[in-house]
Structure 1
Amino acid sequence: MDPTALAFATALVSAMATQTWSDARAAALGVWRRRNAAAGTESIATDLDVTRERVVTAGEAGDPDTVDAVVDVWRGRVQELLLDHPELATDLQDVLTTTLLPMLTDTQTSRVRSIIMTGTSRDTSTFHQIAGNQYNHR
């Protein structure tokens, strides 16, 4: 899974419950339009609107499982977009950093930022990356 796809989907779904959703929606649709000016953008717009209703309802009901499921759905859609159009990775990252992240609360932003972790180990070196609760036993 591309970390940009996961971060973008998480931020997009988080932005669905904000007052600035129309700006987030327009920015997300802009990325899909760049892949092909006409094909499929209308269905993406409809899907975003339906999804937003689900996210708002789930938030009001205190149902984080539904919100997580919606993130998974959009993560798959964004990943599919990147597989078909890898040149859009920069556009996704730009929308993520300039539009979506500024809309979110500090808690929501930290959730998105904690997703992107990169590490490299060479030769015989060892390192550990920790996200949340991780226990290593030897």
Structure 2
Amino acid sequence: MAKIEARLEELGIQLPDAPAPAANYVPFVRTGNQLFVSGQISNGPEGLIRGKLGDGMDVEEGAMAARFCGLALIAQAKAAIGDLDKLRVVKLVGFVNSTTDFTDQPKVINGCSDLMVEVFGEAGRHARSAVSAASLPMGVAVEIEAIFEVA
């Protein structure tokens, strides 16, 4: 069994199916040794995770929503490459649906960042942006896109 697949099993993590695009775009593009994964929205086992941070949704709930985005990012990368052991996480860009006075976007996106390090180890450490958005598609709480390096 591949190292990352074994790590996922050890952590009790089952990846979701790679989500289909919701509009006129592709879920990922590989160019050279880089894999760009389109933004993945917060979608858990119960469906879309909707809400606005700072207005009825707290940081812990937001971080869990970001973790689900991370699972979808990994699922897309697996669909694109097949072998997760060939991947290094280069950059995450996280968007948080939040009120104008909410300032904990980094703590929310940590839900995804922590997952990447948990799963990929040192290869999961990455550059990152965490920004606020006035709204996100379908009212979701979080959307995150990723760039991976392929060995």
Greater per-residue strand proportion: 2
Indicate the structure with greater helix content: 1
Which structure has the greater CA radius of gyration? 1
Normalised to the residue count of structure 2, the TM-score between the two structures is: 0.29
